[in-house]
Copies of this chain bind each other. A is one copy, B any other.
Amino acid sequence: MKNKFDNKSWIKKLNMKLFPPSLEDNTGDVDRLIKEINKAGPEIVNISFQHLQTLSGKLRKAKYQVEAVLYEDQNSWHLIDIFACNGPEKIHVIAMDLGSSTVVLRLINLENHETIGETTFHNPQIEIGSDILTRIHHAAGEGGLEELRSILINKINEEIIKLAQEYGIEIKMIIGMAVAGNTTMTHLFLGLDPYWLCREPYIPVVNSPGIIKAQELCLSINPAAPVLVFPNVGSYFGGDLIAGILASDIIHQEQISFLVDVGTNAEVVIGNRDWLMGCAGAAGPALEGGVADMGMMAGPGVIDKVAIDPLTSEIKIRTIGLHPPVGICGSGLIDLVAQLFLAGMLDLRGKYRSKCGSLLKEINGIKHLEIVSSHDSGTNKELTISQIDIDGLIRSKAAMYTILTTIANTVNIPLNEIKRFFVAGTFGSYIDPKSAITIGMIPDLPLESYISLGNTSLKGAAMAILSRQAKKEIHKIRDSITYLELNVNQEFMNLFSAAKFIPHTDSTLFPSVRM
């Protein structure tokens, strides 16, 4: 059988019918296999020592009729495994979005690229520390790093096994994985000391971890499966964002695009097929619903949409799953503040106005606005947003806008000339661009400029595991991106102060809001 050895994949399956050994051809078993692989294309084929010890037996058992799976890395090919040619087994790969709060696994058929199944779960490291800094601190304690690594890997393995069982797939038939996460998560996943990530001059152990075999990472897939770990540009610009750039396709477009991942860090990329600039800055946790008293991550009963009647000041809410309200997520908070402002209940500085009426209460000297009464609440307590919550959101949105302005100024492109504004990340996909524009978090572009890409970390990981071209581009992206170090200097502070108004001190920047 002639094997087609195309250029599209970097993980391949080859069907091979070897001539069995004879007195006329006494080539060793392993060399026999390599020669046949050579015929299909790859010149340099690496066989691990472990394979040396088992290949001969497997070949003989399969009567020299086998499927070989291989992957390409650094100009050579590496054998992953061989399987007897006697079953309908299909080979699969996994793409992983390794978030600090949420991890998503996608199981994909490598042969037809179909998604077989997906699973989402909380990062178990949350038990040790909900935020990255706590985890870095924990890693410095005795056994801390290994604890963080192992609870994560164990949970991932548990979920892989569940997923594989659910779809009737043998673990050994999962023969590759791509992992996109931020720099700290990547370090913890690999068991690399994150100590210097948060200490000047913020140096990762490694920028490009490259490909590591599954067994070295203790992952429950085929032991020799390549695990492609996305590279980072620095401590604050991780593989998740490289995956995002890959998924957004901005590096193939002529027009200049923004790519923004909104979260505790505002991660921003600007560029096109010729150049890329990225920066990341602390936006504060407000945007993720992590600060407000009633703030929480998206989930059942969480308010994700708000509308206020400007005449009656009546607050209408929508919750996820239409359950009784229990809290508010970041996108809900953005909606709420936009609506409060448009209804005249917040002033330009984001302070509650008297128009709020009886809904506004003072608790311990701090103004709280009742959003949901105790009667309507899923917690039997009233849900309120304090002036402090609002102030936090204003700071976050101002930080985001300032970062966008700074990077646009650096490349000398006015914000309103950007044609496409990609929003990366699951969280970002919940944000209503109109509300975000209203509060002055993002530039006042035509709404159609805003394109939500969903989980770009996962999408990028899936692209990289499936495509040779995408795998190459990851490194092209990493190497070509210019990282803009945000200097919190006077100019930055001036921009930040100006952006702390709703929508902005210079209201001409937001003509749609002015109307």
How long is the Cα–Cα vector from A49 to B219 in the complex, in angstroms?
Answer: 14
Q: Supply 6 A–B pairs (Cβ within 8 Å), ascending by A.
A: A23-B202, A30-B205, A30-B206, A31-B206, A44-B74, A74-B76
Instruction: Encode A189-228 as 1/0 by CB contact (under 8 A) with B.
Output: 0111100100011111111111011001100000000000
Known A22-B201, A56-B192: A212·B28 in contact at CB below 8 Å:
no
Contact call A206/B23, Cβ cutoff below 8 A: no
Interface residues on chain A, number (Cβ under 8 Å): 47
Taking chain A's interface residues, is the majority helix, strand, or loop, or is none over half, making it mixed?
Answer: loop
A205 contact from B28, B206, B213, Cβ within 8 A:
B28
A201 contact from B26, B46, B483, Cβ within 8 A:
B26
Smallest CB–CB gap between A437 and chain B, Å?
34
Smallest CB–CB gap between A82 and chain B, Å?
14
Smallest CB–CB gap between A75 and chain B, Å?
6
Number of copies: 2
How long is the Cα–Cα vector from A52 to B35 in the complex, in angstroms?
Answer: 33
Contact call B209/A26, Cβ cutoff below 8 A: no
CB of A29 closer than 8 Å to a CB of B: yes
Enumerate chain B residues within 8 angstroms of A28, measured Cβ to Cβ.
Answer: 203-208, 232
Smallest CB–CB gap between A187 and chain B, Å?
10
CB of A310 closer than 8 Å to a CB of B: no
How long is the Cα–Cα vector from A207 to B28 in the complex, in angstroms?
Answer: 5
Enumerate chain B residues within 8 angstroms of A44, measured Cβ to Cβ.
Answer: 74-75
CB of A312 closer than 8 Å to a CB of B: no
Instruction: Encode A403-417 as 1/0 by CB contact (under 8 A) with B.
Output: 000000000000000
Enumerate chain B residues within 8 angstroms of A74, measured Cβ to Cβ.
Answer: 44, 46, 76
CB of A332 closer than 8 Å to a CB of B: no
Enumerate chain B residues within 8 angstroms of A201, measured Cβ to Cβ.
Answer: 21-23, 26
Smallest CB–CB gap between A330 and chain B, Å?
29
Restricting to A20-52, which residues have a CB under 8 Å from any CB of B? 21-23, 26-31, 44, 46-47, 49-50, 52
A49 contact from B200, B204, B213, B235, Cβ within 8 A:
B213
Contact call A205/B55, Cβ cutoff below 8 A: yes
How long is the Cα–Cα vector from A216 to B217 in the complex, in angstroms?
Answer: 17
